[in-house]
Structure 1
């Protein structure tokens, strides 16, 4: 599948600065490349950055099929189309699962792997409230405020509603639509199950960025990660949750800046 993406060309902050190579950012479930503009602009000071819309998200095509394996194949197609060599993958949540799967199935290909707040294991599809909040007809609504009020009946969390609404588009007709394939994602409820095998390991240099109060990573996960990745570094933002690239952006960028300054 040909994915939609945005390219942020390398913009060195000094004449002497050399590129680290190409960086590819993979967003999480219900997200899009729009969630990563600030991060991408910052990282373009180290190399060219591709922010990618996964299938069924953003401006990428919709499909009835949605899995980590298929998203990894989509990523491989994008890499081949642009002749990208030894990229650095940064993946959050679902994007992190795709990045790890790609690394396990393409040993030695990546320059580095950066994984945000997810482990290489099965996760339940615990997003019924999110799906319900995007499943009512939109044709009768005249504003985002009206839509938000209706969404709040199903999803009280204001932060998550605002996150989802980054994929809410007003068309030329004045009507609203979801750029997300809500029905397709709802039918992909085994998306996070049985993706990884016990035998999969990696020698790729990898940095795990974890939120200290996140519900997505526990102590068993840390042991699993250590067993899977031999060239591992883990950094934790103690007061952060699952969306540390947004809620703790200053600290997040400082960690990335230190990491990318070491990459040659």
Structure 2
């Protein structure tokens, strides 16, 4: 069988007291062991590593990953970022910290080279890791994100406030909990697609429905997550910026910074796709990735 799935869920981190969380937040913290799913392929070429966006998880790419294993024969690794999915929670939520998490995971799996594919927040994490460790990245794909501030095109702060305000009684069925949460989110999150996406974070822990994403850490570091660290040295390997034609996350204003940091970059737009390019146009997304992988380096 071509695709054998292996899952890893790390043990939860020790809960820190409030004073220790404040101290850690101001300094570089140790990387955390990330949860991941690995689909095996027979090719010896570097694996594809998927990094999801804010409020997402590794499951966002599950069906696409299966297609890519079949079409490219490469292994595909899907990763939960810290404070997301099944990965541990941490008070620190910066791109430098998430880049260190990726480095730890690749070391644990003994992966010396990879193709990084990141969407939104995951795309910025992929860029930071690539600029820090260019020798590890064979190719880079940034999905609907650029190395620029994204403050003007997001409503994340209102999403966080709406999620924090959700109040669900104990001991009710999942279907009822989801309906109640959806009703409470609706006034602040108008788009039903975004509401459904946020609801993927609703989980039952000890008979209480809660959000698995660490809203406190995300809120504390949201300004940093919407920005991008400063780098001088560029990454000269093959790079693809893959945007949605209906999205404003990659605009012509971003082109100079893309060209400065990623001089070999291609910029493509998928027709009839918004910010979630891989969900809106999955077949075109897969085709774009496969075409990019087949293109020989300059």
Superposition TM-score, scaled by structure 1 size = 0.90
Structure 2 runs not aligned, ≥5 long: 1-31
The alpha carbon displacement at 1:154 in A equals: 2.0
- 3-state SS of 2:224 partner: coil
Q: TM-score, normalised by structure 2?
A: 0.81
Instruction: Work out which of the residue numbers 140, 147, 154 in structure 2 matches 1:120.
Output: 147
Aligned to 1:44: 69
2:107 to 48, 66, 80: 80
Partner SS, residue 203 of structure 1: coil
1:5 pairs with 10, 33, 36, which one? 36
Alignment pair present for 1:92 and 2:123:
no
User: Which is helix-richer, 1 or 2?
Assistant: 2
Higher relative contact order (CA 8 A, sep 6+): 1
Please give the per-residue CA displacement for 1:62-96, whole angstroms capped at 9, x wherever unaligned. Answer: 11110011000000100111110210000011001
Deviation digits for residues 133-174 of structure 1 (CA, Å, limit 9, x no counterpart) = 21025442731112111111221211101011111113462x
**2: CA distance between counterparts of 1:254 and 1:198?**
31
Question: Which residue in the other structure is 1:151 paired with?
Answer: 185
- Match 1:164 to one of 180, 198, 203: 198
Q: Is the 8 A contact 2:146 2:241 kept in 1?
A: no
Which structure 2 residues correspond to residues 1-264 of structure 1 after superposition, within 5 A?
A: 1-10=32-41, 18-45=43-70, 46=72, 47-124=74-151, 126-140=155-169, 142=172, 143=176, 144-171=178-205, 173=207, 175-192=208-225, 195-197=228-230, 199-262=232-295
What number of residue pairs does the alignment pair up? 257
- Superposed displacement of residue 108, structure 1: 2.5
What is the distance in 2 between the residues matched to 1:30 and 1:239? 23
Partner secondary structure for residue 135 of structure 1 = helix
Q: Would you say the 8 A contact 1:2–1:60 is kept in 2?
A: yes
Unaligned runs of 5+ in 1: 13-17
Aligned in 2, Cα 1:233/1:211: closer, same or farther, shift over 3 Å? Answer: same
Mean alpha-carbon deviation: is it higher for 224-233 or for 211-220? 224-233
CA contact (8 A) 1:138 1:177 kept: no
Pairwise CA RMSD: 1.9
CA distance in 1, matches of 2:294, 2:67: 12
Distance 1:198 1:77 in 2: 22
CA distance, structure 1, for counterparts of residue 64 and residue 34 of structure 2: 20
